[in-house]
Amino acid sequence: MSKRILVTGGAGFLGSHLCDRLIEDGHDVLCVDNFFTGSKDNIRHLLGNPRFELMRHDVTFPLYVEVDEIFNLACPASPIHYQHDPVQTTKTSVHGAINMLGLAKRLNAKIFQASTSEVYGDPEVHPQPEEYWGRVNPIGIRSCYDEGKRCAETLFFDYHRQHGLKIKVARIFNTYGPRMHPNDGRVVSNFIVQALRGQDITIYGDGSQTRSFCYVDDLIRGFLALMNTDASVTGPINLGNPNEFTIRQLAEMVIELIGSKSKVIYMPLPGDDPKQRQPNIEKARTVLDWVPSIQLEQGLIKTIEYFQKIVK
């Protein structure tokens, strides 16, 4: 059945891929974005589609629309962007959640929260299951994002308990793919852009820290699987690829796939940067019947093809 679906942050990396998939599935999409990190280029191909509507709006202000479901993705997600205006980052997570939850309550609409693996902070438990409460520095340079997202989860569950709201909370682990912002400072886009330009590839720390990289198509499939569960499934549910790689391995793979002559250089590790990040996805596997299917090399090839078109 066709629904009218609101996607906040819909012109961003993940949001634009979600809009594509929802329209493909026959839904009408209202894409809301203030274009702080989102880009019209990401959704330009949808602008003439009768099922797609674009609205410039900041979720820290209330929104008065009529929809059946809400995906709340609005928030800068890379350290460079969320540390640029940390107060606004916290407002986007907290006020944005309050405004979208208020809208969902008025409409009796199901609402999805794009939370993050950053709620686990620099974890002492590895891999991270949903039951782990995390180890987050509340006054560090990353806390505007980490604590903002933790507070958003609090609000979602309090609205669920207090008002019976139908909520779905996904904790997203490192995701990559086409439409990543070339200057977002995230490791996959950084390495690809540096390698394409023949620049030195910058590794912060000694490169032994690990990440688990999920290709965007797999992640969006996880979003929809979670959104389509019955009301008893609220999450939080980890969505990410459990295959773990060191940052050094990623750099070597990017250099090899591009055939670049870039050298690897090492810089000091930024504050509060987690040393390990790997999802335990047992819950997604059993509750959603979801596992990622696209391996890192395969996904990197598609991502490199995208960056080859936009990097000068």
Active site residues: 145
d(CA 178, CA 306): 5
Tokens coding 101 = 């939850």
Residues sharing a CB contact under 8 Å with residue 44, sequence separation 6 or more, in sequence order: none
Tokens coding 50 = 């009768």
| Helix boundaries (H) for the chain | 13-24, 40-43, 79-82, 86-107, 143-163, 187-196, 216-227, 247-258, 282-287, 296-310
Parallel, antiparallel, or unpaired: how do β-strands 244-246 and 210-212 relate?
antiparallel
Phi, psi of 222 (to 5 degrees): -65, -40
Q: What angle do CA 169, 174, 73 make, to 5 degrees?
A: 40
The number of residues in the chain equals 312
Torsion (CA) 292, 298, 299, 300 in degrees, nearest 10? 140
The answer to whether 60 and 30 have CB atoms below 8 angstroms apart is no
Whether a cis peptide bond, with omega within 30° of 0, leads into 127 is yes
Among positive and negative, which fits the CA dihedral 82, 80, 38, 301? negative
Torsion (CA) 185, 14, 11, 54 in degrees, nearest 10? -170
Tokens coding 265 = 């250089």
Phi, psi of 7 (to 5 degrees): -120, 110
Residues sharing a CB contact under 8 Å with residue 221, sequence separation 6 or more, in sequence order: 290
